[in-house]
Structure 1
């Protein structure tokens, strides 16, 4: 069973996977194998992105390229916005037909405003990561991999600010509170997410 409730095209599963694995170029039919493949490719993406750290503002176009580079050898739709409506735990993400307009707003109102993060103070970085993370997850622009791309974005922002990639274990240990923070962002309330970002952003060195 998929982790998400999905309707529409792109809801195509690999033959022989019993509805466990999305249709893929590698013919993978088990959840463990697809997870392993995605993890290995994600590690390669991190090396590429952090070795060629963006020096200017991060853009939606760049994020699409990250997604395509990561999953392009696995899924035909990598790097493209999803064409299906998705929800998780009864919470709906943005409707698929609204994604292009929402990404335009995200580019202009969040990425252009909060990146790049060079020289940014810790409080400003916490705000920047909290808002860009929440808004990206609410849009959920891709069919798969949104959370991992959102974390890569946060890691790039942290590295731009002079820190290393972040440790997300507090989020994993308190998953329900993290999800609550995302959902509060739907009402424009980012305070809880700022609290959780503060827990993963290291203190500034004196």
Structure 2
């Protein structure tokens, strides 16, 4: 059973910086850490979104779902790509992460094979389920949105122009995004699907 994304703040607070791979000769501000993460994510963006990735490059298997997080955050965090061992305020119980992520990978393969949904709904369901599971210590929201964009790009659409400060107080789309995720918790995906249609 996947728990609700309520309360959804999307980003786990960075109150634990153990595992930080940046040079240890000084202290870092949160802004500097986020900038380092953004630079790392830019490399994954170039790899997967500059051109449509093949099924071999982005197979959406259980192993690749884990690998993508490592590619996005591995230059900054030692725990990138490793499943969390702690409970968060959002997401399923930590012990359930491997099994539930494998179920998501199996569902994606089934949806693809049977054309269960159109590409926008499939991307939406991947995104939503990934947020619900919250497999990693941090970076889950950005990883979930990247998954959706890679799926869209692979299937003939352009990626969504997600603003990575999506959940900052200054972003007017914050409330819209959170409401869409909460509706999806109840099985109403339409608002979130519409957000996935706002591509480049």
Q: Please point out which of 142, 159, 172 is paired with 2:136.
A: 142
Change (3 A) 1:54 1:83: farther
1:137 aligned counterpart, secondary structure: helix
Contact kept, 8 Å, 2:72 with 2:143, in 1: the verdict is: no
**Out of 81, 95, 98, which is 1:97 matched to?**
95
Larger Rg: 1
Q: Scaled by the length of structure 1, what TM-score is found?
A: 0.73
CA contact under 8 A between 1:12 and 1:23: conserved in structure 2? Answer: no
Greater Cα offset, 135-144 or 70-79: 70-79
Separation of aligned partners in 1, 2:79 and 2:156: 34
Task: Name the one with the larger strand percent.
Answer: 1
Q: Which moved more, 1:38-47 or 1:175-184?
A: 175-184
Superposition TM-score, scaled by structure 2 size: 0.75
Secondary structure in structure 2 of the residue aligned to 1:180: helix
Larger RCO (CA under 8 A, 6+ residues apart): 2
Q: Which region of structure 1 is more displaced relative to structure 2, 73-82 or 45-54? A: 45-54
8 Å contact 1:58–1:115 — kept in the other structure?
Answer: no
What is the number of residues matched between the two proteins? Answer: 176
Gaps of 5+ in 1: 6-10, 15-21
Out of 56, 68, 71, the residue aligned to residue 69 of structure 1 is 71
Contact persistence 1:126–1:201 (CA under 8 A): no
Aligned 8 A contact 2:40 2:75 in 1: no
Task: Give the secondary structure class of the aligned counterpart of 1:46.
Answer: helix
Confirm or deny that 1:186 pairs with 2:189.
no
Matched residues in 2 for 1:147 and 1:75: separation? 16
Residues 1-206 of structure 1 mapped to structure 2, 5 A cutoff: 4=12, 13-14=16-17, 22-26=18-22, 27=24, 29-50=28-49, 53-55=53-55, 57-87=59-89, 92-109=90-107, 111-115=108-112, 124-169=118-163, 173-198=172-197, 200-201=198-199
**Counterparts of 1:125 and 1:64, CA distance in 2:** 22
Larger mean Cα displacement after TM superposition, 54-63 or 126-135: 54-63
Distance 1:101 1:34, change over 3 A: same
Structure 2 residues not aligned, in runs of 5+: 1-10
Q: In structure 2, do the counterparts of structure 1 residues 161 and 174 end up closer, same or farther at CA, with 3 Å as the change threshold?
A: same
RMSD: 2.7
- Decide whether the 8 Å contact of 2:81 with 2:136 is kept in 1: yes
